[in-house]
Structure 1
Amino acid sequence: MKTITKLAIFSVMILLPYFVFNNINLEVQRETLITEIRYNKAIDTATQDAAKALLTNSSQRDETQYERLKKVKINREEAVQTFLQTMYLNFGVYNDPDGQGVLKTYIPALVIVGYDGYYMYSWDEYTNAAGEMELKHVWSPKKPYAYADNNGNTFAFTLDEYVTVNKNGDQQWLEGFRGEITSEASIPLLHDSKTFDQVRRTSIVHAIQQDLQFQINKYNNYSKRYGVAYTFTLPLISQEEWNNTINDVGILAFVQGIPMGQKYYNNYALGGSRIVKKPIYNGMIANGHKYYYSRNACVSSFTTEEVFTTERDAAANGYIPLDCTVGNRN
């Protein structure tokens, strides 16, 4: 009996540290998961607030041109400041300048996706007024969505089918919607809408990806000199999410390196500026007459010639309302 008791005590002594360690580890994992969820929510909220702020102070005419629904005037400064203010609030450093400075070191880059180009808000070194080297977030110039085909023709893409082309043969410049300049350009890429869209999307995504990788690597070099041990990396982003990123103007935010239990936080968030859906009116030509109709009211088999966000704009361009209850319905 004594032998059994001794064995039981011995077993407990051996296994007890294991159970205690395991329980502690489970508790740490639980707290880490809760923290990660809280951080995700904070960053998503900050990014969505920034996306709304992108269109701050834009007039209706600036915000939405008649034929280019995605061509909007963006306020990148307001967007970034809104992002940071929401981050400060959610991370409890709203009235703590030192804490704000630390939090910003976990933001390697922000990307503002514009209609005809993007801006990078990332870290760089500069010489301050005292002649000392200082590291801070700075804006890049606007970078176009550029592409060159195998024949040497160059393209400047946008978030829709509007494109600027420089023909290699005669250096002629053409600008307009793909369908409008196809006959003038005689460039194969412009003749196939699906191929054009695929190349356009791939070019935009590739440009942003390559630039992000460069900026993050550059920040790694800077941060190591300042004693930061964490290595920043470009997160794996699915193709679907990249496509969502370039469907409209918006902001892409990266937050990395925040200590979180036994690991580091590493995530990104996408915010599109079209949070509140605007009414959309399609303009078409049928039987020689120009009509417009609401997308929410009916559909049509006729080709959409122009897109508007108000009936007034459609009427000003010579379109008359289509009665969706009779004729011209698909």
Structure 2
Amino acid sequence: MKLYHFAISFVIIAITSIIINDVRTDHLKTVWSDREKIDRYLDTAIDDAVTKLVEIGQNNQIIINKEKAVESFSASLYSSFGILSDKDKQEELDRYLPVIAVTTEDGYYTYAYFEYEGEDGHSYVTRRWTEKLPYYREDNDFIYGFTLGENITLFDKNGLLASGDKQTVYQLNYQDMKIKFPAYFAARNRPENPFLLDPDKFELIRKETIQSLIEQSMAYYTSHHNKIASEYGITYNFVLPPIKDEEWLPYLDAPGFFVIFQGYPYGAGEVYNRFASSGAKVTKDKVYYLEQEKWYLIYHRSGCDHRKEDGILFDNQPYLSVEECVRQGAYGCPVCCQNDIHAPEYDPFDKFSGREK
């Protein structure tokens, strides 16, 4: 074989290799693009869900509307996938969402698929909410019921706190434990409960407890979904994906929305697999109310002791940000909003401040 024959063969091999690499690169780009697109769809849907999750009712009561949150989530996802008016496609997409969890102040709900037997004796599948499950932890002496904040429910199994043998349930802020039960914490032979006296340890235990319980529930319903999915011809093995702490921890202080989207086919043989989470932006301590003074308005955080004290509430509407209050011409309360702009005449500790005497 002459030299130019080798050269031609080399060029052909090189060109073939380049074409194959280009095809592979284009395929990877397409897969990555499709993956990013679904990520955006899911992020948008979960953000839409949390905007409907929390409502502010009368007397500053926070209402969790998990049904509206799921409706908003689903409508957003259907719209992104272009199936808003296609019921069959919607049901098909839903089968790749094995479980959703919603957290409330003192417990959480899961939304999953369940089988039941109808009156005709046949088996059917429905999607529904579980009962609310508490954030609990237990040791030899206590059952701890945690919340998304500092309040706890404490079941004293052995009557240790009141120096008796009566089982008692207490509901209180954990930081008041040492004040309310000094004898128990001063006793040399008391069981060790260091997290009740240490804010950092309390937060660690609280979040670990909530995260672990929700993760266990979601793992169970994700695994259980394999039986449901198989009846619809889905062969994917549903299992809870690894979840990083940063996907949990930011959303354990306020109501949150957590979802598994798994097994959805896209591209050439690819499947989508992701845990997504988001938290509501509205909590009780972030809501503001306006108080009418002599010629100006004062905005207070909802828990401020000086809100409505000897004053007149401007209206019953909760304001969700300082910016909304300022647009009403209101000044900040120097007690609960110390870093904001204050009215020069207003003294929250003087009941006649800023009013006609």
When normalised by structure 1's length, the TM-score is: 0.79
Structure 2 equivalent of residue 284 of structure 1: none
Q: Shift of the alpha carbon at 1:161?
A: 0.7
Kept in 1, the 8 Å contact 2:247–2:276? The answer is: no
Query: Are residue 143 (structure 1) and residue 138 (structure 2) matched?
Result: no
Instruction: Give distance in 2, aligned partners of 1:229 and 1:15.
Output: 40
Structure 2 equivalent of residue 77 of structure 1: 67
Instruction: Give distance in 2, aligned partners of 1:270 and 1:317.
Output: 39
Structure 2 equivalent of residue 241 of structure 1: 247
> Partner amino acid for 1:108?
P
CA distance change for structure 1 residues 133 and 18 in 2, over 3 Å: closer, same or farther? farther
Query: Are residue 267 (structure 1) and residue 274 (structure 2) matched?
Result: yes
Q: Shift of the alpha carbon at 1:17?
A: 3.9
CA distance change for structure 1 residues 50 and 190 in 2, over 3 Å: closer, same or farther? same
Instruction: Give distance in 1, aligned partners of 2:71 and 2:240.
Output: 23
CA distance change for structure 1 residues 183 and 108 in 2, over 3 Å: closer, same or farther? same
3-12 vs 169-178, greater mean Cα deviation: 3-12
Query: Are residue 166 (structure 1) and residue 155 (structure 2) matched?
Result: yes
Instruction: Give distance in 2, aligned partners of 1:193 and 1:318.
Output: 35
CA offsets 1:191-219 (integer angstroms, 9 cap, x no match): 22222221111111110111111111111
Kept in 1, the 8 Å contact 2:142–2:155? The answer is: yes
Identity %: 27
Structure 2 equivalent of residue 39 of structure 1: 38
CA RMSD of aligned residues (A): 3.0
Kept in 2, the 8 Å contact 1:175–1:181? The answer is: no
**What secondary structure, in the 3-state scheme, does the structure 1 residue paired with 2:238 have?**
coil
Query: Are residue 250 (structure 1) and residue 221 (structure 2) matched?
Result: no
Q: Shift of the alpha carbon at 1:124?
A: 1.7
Instruction: Give distance in 2, aligned partners of 1:97 and 1:15.
Output: 50
Q: Shift of the alpha carbon at 1:280?
A: 5.9
Kept in 2, the 8 Å contact 1:174–1:181? The answer is: no
Q: Shift of the alpha carbon at 1:273?
A: 1.4
Q: Shift of the alpha carbon at 1:269?
A: 2.0
Uncovered stretches (5+) of structure 1, i.e. residues with no partner: 66-71, 282-292, 296-307
**What secondary structure, in the 3-state scheme, does the structure 1 residue paired with 2:125 have?**
strand
Q: Shift of the alpha carbon at 1:225?
A: 4.6
Residue 322 of structure 1, aligned match among 320, 325, 334: 334
CA offsets 1:24-45 (integer angstroms, 9 cap, x no match): 1111111111111111111011
Instruction: Give distance in 1, aligned partners of 2:78 and 2:53.
Output: 19
Instruction: Give distance in 2, aligned partners of 1:317 and 1:27.
Output: 67
**What secondary structure, in the 3-state scheme, does the structure 2 residue paired with 1:44 have?**
helix
119-128 vs 224-233, greater mean Cα deviation: 224-233
Uncovered stretches (5+) of structure 2, i.e. residues with no partner: 160-166, 186-192, 290-297, 312-332, 348-357
Instruction: Give distance in 1, aligned partners of 2:310 and 2:209.
Output: 36
CA distance change for structure 1 residues 137 and 48 in 2, over 3 Å: closer, same or farther? same
> Partner amino acid for 2:88?
D
> Partner amino acid for 2:10?
S
Q: Shift of the alpha carbon at 1:129?
A: 5.7
Kept in 2, the 8 Å contact 1:121–1:140? The answer is: yes
**What secondary structure, in the 3-state scheme, does the structure 2 residue paired with 1:141 have?**
coil
Structure 2 equivalent of residue 299 of structure 1: none
Structure 2 equivalent of residue 26 of structure 1: 25
> Partner amino acid for 1:158?
T
**What secondary structure, in the 3-state scheme, does the structure 1 residue paired with 2:64 have?**
coil
**What secondary structure, in the 3-state scheme, does the structure 2 residue paired with 1:215 have?**
helix
25-34 vs 180-189, greater mean Cα deviation: 180-189
CA offsets 1:100-151 (integer angstroms, 9 cap, x no match): 01110111111101110000011221234654322332211100001112x3
> Partner amino acid for 2:79?
L
Kept in 2, the 8 Å contact 1:88–1:100? The answer is: yes
Structure 2 equivalent of residue 201 of structure 1: 207
Q: Shift of the alpha carbon at 1:23?
A: 1.6
Residue 92 of structure 2, aligned match among 91, 95, 102: 102
Instruction: Give distance in 2, aligned partners of 1:42 and 1:119.
Output: 24
Instruction: Give distance in 2, aligned partners of 1:128 and 1:162.
Output: 43
Q: Shift of the alpha carbon at 1:92?
A: 0.9
Kept in 2, the 8 Å contact 1:255–1:268? The answer is: yes
| Structure of higher RCO (CA pairs closer than 8 Å, 6+ residues apart) | 1
Q: Which has the larger radius of gyration?
A: 2
When normalised by structure 2's length, the TM-score is: 0.73
